[in-house]
Amino acid sequence: MELPPPGSGPEADPLIQQALDRASRPDLPPRDERLLLAAGRAAWLTETAGYTHVRIQAATARRDTGLDANWREVRAVVRLVWAGADPAGTLLDGRPATLLYTQNGNGSWKRT
């Protein structure tokens, strides 16, 4: 599937979400995935407070299986594709962001 060209606007977001979904299979319990997606979206909107017209185009939450992942703890990575105008007014879409989370002993997630 070909991705929409930059500047395609919100109508292209479902296509971006489909591409992100196809890049990796879900591997977290559905409840954890929902919690992580909500937490990742909220955290990223806070991170981009200096930007305008911010929107999350697509997001996934998956187990972090990277080489530095500690086998004794459950870690997850939330990958976002977002759009927004930076403080200089340059509007760009297709911006990537990655947020890492670690599951606490009580089952909740903490951004790391």
Provide the pLDDT for residue 107.
86
The owner of tokens 């297709």 is 94
Residue 4 within any structural domain of the chain: no
Residue 58 within any structural domain of the chain: yes
Looking at residue 28, its amino acid is L
Q: Are 14 and 49 in contact (CB under 8 A)?
A: no
Number of structural domains found in the chain: 1
Residue 3 within any structural domain of the chain: no
Residue 45 within any structural domain of the chain: yes
Split at pLDDT 50, 70, 90, the class of 6 is confident
Provide the pLDDT for residue 65.
81
**Is the pTM here over 0.85, yes or no?**
yes
Provide the pLDDT for residue 49.
93
* Closest to 18 in 3D by CA, of 50, 57, 55, 48: 57
Residue 107 within any structural domain of the chain: yes
Domain that holds residue 21: 10-111
Residue 18 within any structural domain of the chain: yes
Residue 94 within any structural domain of the chain: yes
